[in-house]
Structure 1
């Protein structure tokens, strides 16, 4: 579970950005659902303000810590500094895994890791009080480990790479006696799905190959398919059922595809996915990602999550992460949206605004705005449309 994350000197954010999921005791129960950390967080702002980069920073951090060792030794680190800055880009994330709360810090240029640090503190309660103190798990300076706990002494034999994190490297060394600590931390970073890459949004493809892969997954995992069918039937008034069918291509290889049942009077017809609306096609592919994160835990990061979806459908998707019944693992969902009405669902406690001045991006959570302009229970969208809280284009 993520408490907060941030970065500085990264793309358009010169001085940096801090994004907090934390909810204090003053947050109403119909927003917090008795959680100390939000499970949904929305980002609004004008085109070019830096919304995608705010998500990209989180996606980069999670991906780098989990998978950077798999990349080619000569591949550059995909973290661009602010314009022509020669200083490293700095990142941090504060998160919980198991019985510990961790803080991870990273400084990188496009060529190498400058520093990497991990701290932890026990969050077990003993007689109502927090146990333990914050300790340094390891500290790395360039390609040298300068500090580490005894319980991860196996990392002493690691040959660090300039373009890979210690966490990713240690995981791929596959130590026979690898500590639980490093496994838990790696698992946290690996449990994420994002449609934001180095170059921006990469929408989950709806091409034939992607449809076949998703259909094969649904055929193999009926619980996921039931979830998807239920959501699509609620959103598309013409569909009464979906079936997965099997066929073979010219090479004799199996592939799977969906057929959508449409009832007409006392009869019915099956149509292919290419006969469906763009919204239905999008949901068919994307809902696999929702199911995966809700079922296994982790973080879903979606730029323009409202793409191809009717506005009335968006609250239903968000409620999947709000409800303790559908989100038993407290999985988290952070996204951008161009539909203003989503602000009224999020409230000021779960909305970030991104602005830009003199080509420098900055962000703030709406409950940071002082005064009573934004009162809980009153719609935010009219105030946003009037330009009173920022994040709108100057036309």
Structure 2
């Protein structure tokens, strides 16, 4: 469960920007849009949040920040070799920022324990890394390290509450790898839940969402009826889905394709299967008619591709980040997808949905609490500012959020100028 995240000096984010799913003030929609995250009921979180803002305001960069953080956690101790570059992109429009590390921090809950983990890094090295845990409500600093440029070494702090082969993990941690990742690779059971949250619980998708493969794989097993329920609830008029697999046929490639390209494709497809997805609808004579998946509309293809990951996330309590959820989808379908997270029956394990969007028809107090709405815009230095609707204290249940946003009350709108006449 995600509590909060912060990012600084990464892409369009210059100063520290913080996004939170902690429940704010207000008692609206407590049973649907919020949940108690601990047995002591001392932390209440939101099931979803929507982020609005003009194009190029930095909305997508929030997702990219988490993607980068996840990539470094999961891959730095395994995929990178000594001297390899880390995927850091600092704020480039400021001469000082270009030379400074990017910084990331996430606070989350696993098994009722709150963790606060973060690191700062340039492309060359990790400059700082820290982990605090709250197993009994009070902070325990499990580890920390800071790069000392004068001595060209790290200053380490390995807390007494961290158990295991700490000295071995410290010696084995490269400059371009995380201590967290290295320790888990070397069998730290205590740090495994933190690593697994990034690897398994945190799920992210760009504008295109997912391909149909995962949803199709569910249609081949016992979860097919859940996929069909999803499609029927979305009113797609699909009566069945048939999935067949067949080996990749090299002869299907164009005959004039260059040989190196052909060899690369054939090598990449070795031992892989090709999916053939058919959607079935009933004709007026009651007989099933098969349609190629590629002949379906972009919206239908996207919604089918969403079905599997959506069901998987709701079932397992994942944290799901989606960029531009509205893309190719009707506003009612966007609301349908969001409400699946707000319904305790369809979301029994408190999965969370965070998405960017331009769809303003759902920007109302019948769908969201006021603390679930966020905005992005750029300041005069072209740096992204991230802020919540609650900064404006809209009237509970009365203010028309969509009209107020589109009128410019909350900012985060494109400033469109007149186009100069040609000639």
Same fold (TM > 0.5): yes
Which residue among 330, 336, 345 is the counterpart of 1:310? 330
1:194 paired residue number: 204
1:218-233 alignment to 2 at 5 Å?
218-223=218-223, 225-233=224-232
Deviation at 1:289, TM superposition (A): 1.8
Which residue among 271, 278, 290 is the counterpart of 1:259? 278
Matched, 1:350 2:372: yes
Distance, in Å, in 2 between the alignment partners of 1:114 and 1:232 is 48
Distance, in Å, in 1 between the alignment partners of 2:120 and 2:321 is 22
Deviation at 1:222, TM superposition (A): 2.5
Matched, 1:157 2:168: yes
Farther off after superposition, 141-150 or 273-282:
141-150
Structure 2 counterpart SS, 1:14: coil
Distance, in Å, in 1 between the alignment partners of 2:14 and 2:317 is 32
Structure 1 counterpart SS, 2:314: helix
Please give the per-residue CA displacement for 1:28-87, whole angstroms capped at 9, x wherever unaligned. 135644441012111100111111112222232233223322332243222222114212
Q: Contact 2:326–2:359 (CA<8 Å) still a contact in 1?
A: yes
Structure 2 counterpart SS, 1:69: coil
1:274-353 alignment to 2 at 5 Å?
274-344=294-364, 345-353=367-375
For normalisation by structure 2, the TM-score amounts to 0.81
Which residue among 365, 370, 388 is the counterpart of 2:388? 365
Distance, in Å, in 2 between the alignment partners of 1:62 and 1:5 is 13
Deviation at 1:284, TM superposition (A): 1.8
Deviation at 1:216, TM superposition (A): 5.5
Q: Structure 1 residues 118, 151: CA separation in 2 closer, same or farther (over 3 Å shift)?
A: closer
Unaligned regions of 5+ residues in structure 1, if any? 123-130
Deviation at 1:350, TM superposition (A): 0.4
- Over aligned residues, Cα RMSD in angstroms? 2.3
2:3 paired residue number: 3
Structure 2 counterpart SS, 1:41: strand
Deviation at 1:302, TM superposition (A): 1.0
For normalisation by structure 1, the TM-score amounts to 0.86
1:125 paired residue number: none
Please give the per-residue CA displacement for 1:284-337, whole angstroms capped at 9, x wherever unaligned. 222222222222232111111111111110111111211222222211111101
Q: Contact 1:39–1:330 (CA<8 Å) still a contact in 2?
A: yes
2:125 paired residue number: 112
Which residue among 194, 199, 208 is the counterpart of 1:185? 194
1:170 paired residue number: 183
Structure 2 counterpart SS, 1:342: coil
Matched, 1:234 2:257: no
Which residue among 139, 147, 160 is the counterpart of 2:158? 147
Distance, in Å, in 2 between the alignment partners of 1:113 and 1:253 is 38
Distance, in Å, in 2 between the alignment partners of 1:387 and 1:92 is 31
1:14 paired residue number: 14
Deviation at 1:20, TM superposition (A): 0.8
Structure 2 counterpart SS, 1:222: coil
Farther off after superposition, 3-12 or 142-151:
142-151
Deviation at 1:352, TM superposition (A): 0.7
1:54 paired residue number: 62
Q: Contact 1:216–1:255 (CA<8 Å) still a contact in 2?
A: no
Q: Structure 1 residues 39, 75: CA separation in 2 closer, same or farther (over 3 Å shift)?
A: farther
2:142 paired residue number: 137
Structure 2 counterpart SS, 1:346: coil
Deviation at 1:361, TM superposition (A): 1.1
Distance, in Å, in 1 between the alignment partners of 2:378 and 2:272 is 51
Please give the per-residue CA displacement for 1:89-120, whole angstroms capped at 9, x wherever unaligned. 22211111113211112111121101111011
Unaligned regions of 5+ residues in structure 2, if any? 37-43, 148-152, 251-270, 417-423
Matched, 1:385 2:406: yes
Deviation at 1:172, TM superposition (A): 2.1
Tell me the matched-pair count. Answer: 370
Q: Structure 1 residues 132, 234: CA separation in 2 closer, same or farther (over 3 Å shift)?
A: closer
2:254 paired residue number: none
Distance, in Å, in 1 between the alignment partners of 2:144 and 2:220 is 43
Distance, in Å, in 2 between the alignment partners of 1:351 and 1:385 is 14
Deviation at 1:237, TM superposition (A): 4.0
Q: Contact 1:59–1:301 (CA<8 Å) still a contact in 2?
A: no
Q: Contact 1:315–1:342 (CA<8 Å) still a contact in 2?
A: yes
